[in-house]
Structure 1
């Protein structure tokens, strides 16, 4: 029986730029980097001990290896404790951010990476 989400695959056009975005602008950590011939994958996470991580894959290579695989961006919701501070920090780092909106479950805003993949952040205290 499944008991947790382990890894999320994120297919990107430029892995190095994606690593820079997630580490420099969002404060994620590189957990591991693997190379197997032309295949390269980079595991990132918000903290070193996080139970769930994101694997950055080369979209073009995966498309060639697995035609028909859905390479769309997963709809991810991250949690943060101080939404106002995070929103301001990302804005100051020239990250495309949406306005903070009130939802029934809490305050939330979206942001885009350098490839215009959109993600959301919800305030959880």
Structure 2
């Protein structure tokens, strides 16, 4: 039985720029930085004690060492208790955001990272 989603692999074109986006703009923390040979990756999460983290991998290097691997951006939905505050914060940091909309699961908006990958945030109180 699987108990939890541990990590999500996010394959990016520029690790340093993506790391900067996720930490400086989206407010994530760096959990660890790891290297193995020519590969380097960053483990980030919304907080130090988050159960799920995102791993930023260099898309070009992964493609080189693992041909045929699916390197597409996953569709991610984040949760927040303070949707309006987060929305205003993202707009203030010049993050591309969509309108806040009502969905069956609650109020939602989407945002784009530095590589124009879109993700969603839903309000969970």
Shorter-chain TM-score bucket reads: over 0.9
Question: Which TM-score applies when normalising by structure 1?
Answer: 0.98
State the superposition RMSD in angstroms: 0.6
- 1:66 and 1:50 map into 2 onto residues whose CA distance is 29
Structure-2 separation of matches of 1:100 and 1:57: 30
2:117: which partner in 1? 117
| TM-score after normalising by structure 2 | 0.98
The within-5 A match list for 1:84-95 is 84-95=84-95
Structure 1: gaps of 5 or more residues? none
SS at match of 1:109: strand
Q: Which ranges in structure 2 are unaligned for 5 or more consecutive residues?
A: none
Q: Which runs of 4+ in 1 moved over 6 A?
A: none
Structure 2 partner of 1:80:
80
In structure 2, what is the Cα distance between the partners aligned to 1:44 and 1:106? 26
The size of the alignment, in residue pairs, is 125
Deviation, 1:66, is 1.0
Q: Which residue of 2 aligns with 1:14?
A: 14
Aligned equivalents of 1:17, 1:28: Cα separation in 2 = 14
Q: Distance between the aligned counterparts of 2:32 and 2:8, measured in 1?
A: 14
Q: Secondary structure at the match of 1:97?
A: coil
Does residue 32 in structure 1 map to residue 42 in structure 2? Answer: no
What residue in structure 1 maps to residue 23 of structure 2?
23
